[in-house]
Structure 1
Amino acid sequence: MKDHQMKLALVGIGGYGRNHARTIAGLQQDGLAQCVAYADVRLDANPDVCETLSGLGAASYTDYKEMLERHPEVDIVVVSTPIPLHVPMCTHIMEAGFHVLLEKPPAVTIQDMNAIADVQRRTGKRCQVDFQNTSGRAFRELLRMLDGGAVGRLQRVTGVGLWKRTWAYYQRTPWAGKLIHGGAYVLDGTVNNALSHLLNNCLIAAGSGRIPAAVPVAAQAELYKSIDIESENTVSARVRTEGGVEVLYYTTQNHVANDTPYIVAEGDRGSIRWSYDNKLVIREHDQEPREVAYEAEDLNRNMYLNLFDAVRGEGELYCPLEACHSFVLASNGIFESARGIVRIPDAYVGTRPEGDTEAIELKDAAALITQAAEEGLLYAEAGIPWATATPVFDLTGYTRFELFREGASPS
């Protein structure tokens, strides 16, 4: 293999790890990387992925620590394991001397986020968090335009994600829809997992790509569930950042279809809408809106190539670990403000057959949520009948998350 090829190891080959395996195979086929090894506690559960990776010449292991010990030549370790394992694995890997591509979220609690960030700073290892939607050309252009004052003074960033999920989705893994699993926080829902990309990108946009400006100082949020799960699947949230920008976040997994999530960044001289399909709609003051559509990109591949450049000292990461501090802080503030998950009454929820399972639908979800987003209101403020008002939670000096702590006081 050529010296310039990055040597990779993958931890976790099931679930989203299958996507990483495909990306790694493509990079090796193009002569850009070499898959040295892979590890999973249940290799037999994904024989096709094992066949692919072994076919690349990679050695297999059931213990990732043994893998690291046997392959010190590895440059980057990709971590695609269940959420509670991200912090201990990433910490061990960086301390063992390897750079990391870490699946999102990097951590669930702000105390764990601070701990893993301390390790990253101490070791000096690169850690790219795989919020791959940060890598698309449209989003990079959005940040450039916002930083350049294209909308004037940025005032508000609104993210809307309307997706459909079935009962099968909540049966995909033991921690699906759980707040805590195996004694560890998971907070599996739209905020911390399925639509976490949307919240993360909202916060990055709120800072116009500058990390300090995006730090949340207060959060107010309403968390709802439409079925018997622990965590949320419908959310409205308002986050205020250090830079004075209001971030609004609206999601549901109870829509009739998977609409394309989008963000609208509004300033005193215009607005820009960015969407997951790599498009921008730019509305400058007193001018007709114009759309800029970029070609489809392999966002996962982008994250790898960007990390390769950063490891070589040839560029900055699209989503370094430090940039995710705002995401984890906002996520924790959202749960602290909500103080619980409110069950939406059955009268507002329906199901319909979808293959061998059923899709869960919140009645009039698109109309209600879109109107609330357009008006900049949380669901209770918009008068939605199943909604419950919540207090603002002050995040100033906040360093420890405790789920629905008793006696928590609003700001």
Structure 2
Amino acid sequence: TTTGTRLYFYVTHSPRLQFDPVMEVVGTKGTATWNYKGECEIHTLDGQTLSFNNGRVDPWLEVMRVAARVQRKELAQPYSTLANSRSFVVAINGAYDSARYIRPIPEKYVQTISTGPEERAVIQDIDALLDQACAERKLLSDLGVSWAVATPRIDVQDYKEFNPFCQPRVFE
């Protein structure tokens, strides 16, 4: 970001173990972790731990409830608007622009497991690699993963358009 905040996004569609996303926010006063079960845990730098949950609200159903409440004029606007979700979209588009194109992972690092409708590809050691990358706040290319490719830093300040068919602006 222009203010120096670092944003890391780790995802794979080819893990050995499948689980829902976990969000971790590391700030100047502590760390907050949230998962799709609605569980949140906050650890402050002064040693306090706060734990709470969302009361078992299903986030997928809540999206529909919020849309219905807006439609019925019970809520002025959705929680996620074009204005407040722009930074997330720009970050994801910037990551796509940085990658430039999808690079295949060599077959020797990919294993096919199961058969029939359950058949899927698993990238060798990807679970441990993503855990390490997250813990160390690094990219897979920073860890020296042989098939990972370092990509250029993309300038997303004043980002106006996402076009997957053109070359992005690159920091020199």
Check 1:270–1:301 CA distance in 2 against 1; reply closer, same or farther (3 A cut).
same
1:368 aligns with 2:129: yes
* Equivalent-residue separation in structure 2 for 1:382 and 1:356 (angstroms): 34
* Correspondence 1:335-350 to 2 at 5 A: 335-350=96-111
1:388 aligns with 2:152: no
C-alpha contact 1:372 1:382 (8 A) present in aligned 2: yes
How far did residue 393 of structure 1 move?
0.6
How far did residue 272 of structure 1 move?
0.7
* Equivalent-residue separation in structure 1 for 2:169 and 2:18 (angstroms): 37
Aligned to 2:88: 327
Q: Deviations over 1:178-227 (max 9, x none)?
A: xxxxxxxxxxxxxxxxxxxxxxxxxxxxxxxxxxxxxxxxxxxxxxxxxx
Match of residue 378, structure 1, among 131, 139, 147: 139
**Higher helix proportion:** 1
RMSD: 2.2
* Equivalent-residue separation in structure 2 for 1:349 and 1:301 (angstroms): 35
How far did residue 315 of structure 1 move?
4.3
Aligned to 2:58: 298
Name the aligned partner's letter for residue 97 of structure 2. Answer: E
Match of residue 287, structure 1, among 47, 68, 79: 47
Q: Tell me the TM-score normalized by structure 2.
A: 0.85
Q: Tell me the TM-score normalized by structure 1.
A: 0.38
How far did residue 359 of structure 1 move?
1.4
1:248 aligns with 2:8: yes
C-alpha contact 2:155 2:169 (8 A) present in aligned 1: no
Name the aligned partner's letter for residue 47 of structure 2. Answer: Q
How far did residue 409 of structure 1 move?
4.5
Check 1:326–1:267 CA distance in 2 against 1; reply closer, same or farther (3 A cut).
closer
User: Secondary structure of 1:370's partner?
Assistant: helix
Name the aligned partner's letter for residue 410 of structure 1. Answer: V
User: Secondary structure of 2:80's partner?
Assistant: coil
* Correspondence 1:7-406 to 2 at 5 A: 240=1, 244-287=4-47, 289-311=49-71, 312=73, 314-403=75-164, 405-406=166-167
User: Secondary structure of 1:374's partner?
Assistant: helix
Q: Deviations over 1:260-284 (max 9, x none)?
A: 3111111122111011111111111
Aligned to 1:75: none
Name the aligned partner's letter for residue 45 of structure 2. Answer: H
Structure 1 portions without partners, runs of 5+: 1-239
* Equivalent-residue separation in structure 2 for 1:293 and 1:304 (angstroms): 20
Aligned to 1:23: none
Name the aligned partner's letter for residue 18 of structure 2. Answer: N
Check 1:293–1:346 CA distance in 2 against 1; reply closer, same or farther (3 A cut).
same
How far did residue 307 of structure 1 move?
3.0
C-alpha contact 1:262 1:273 (8 A) present in aligned 2: yes
Counting matched residue pairs gives 170
* Equivalent-residue separation in structure 2 for 1:375 and 1:341 (angstroms): 24
Structure 2 portions without partners, runs of 5+: none
How far did residue 339 of structure 1 move?
1.3
Check 1:354–1:296 CA distance in 2 against 1; reply closer, same or farther (3 A cut).
farther
**Higher strand proportion:** 1
Q: Which has the larger radius of gyration?
A: 1
Check 1:305–1:405 CA distance in 2 against 1; reply closer, same or farther (3 A cut).
closer
How far did residue 302 of structure 1 move?
2.1
C-alpha contact 1:270 1:285 (8 A) present in aligned 2: yes
C-alpha contact 1:339 1:404 (8 A) present in aligned 2: no
How far did residue 301 of structure 1 move?
3.3
User: Greater relative contact order: 1 or 2 (C-alpha under 8 angstroms, separation 6 or more)?
Assistant: 2
How far did residue 357 of structure 1 move?
4.6
* Equivalent-residue separation in structure 1 for 2:118 and 2:14 (angstroms): 14
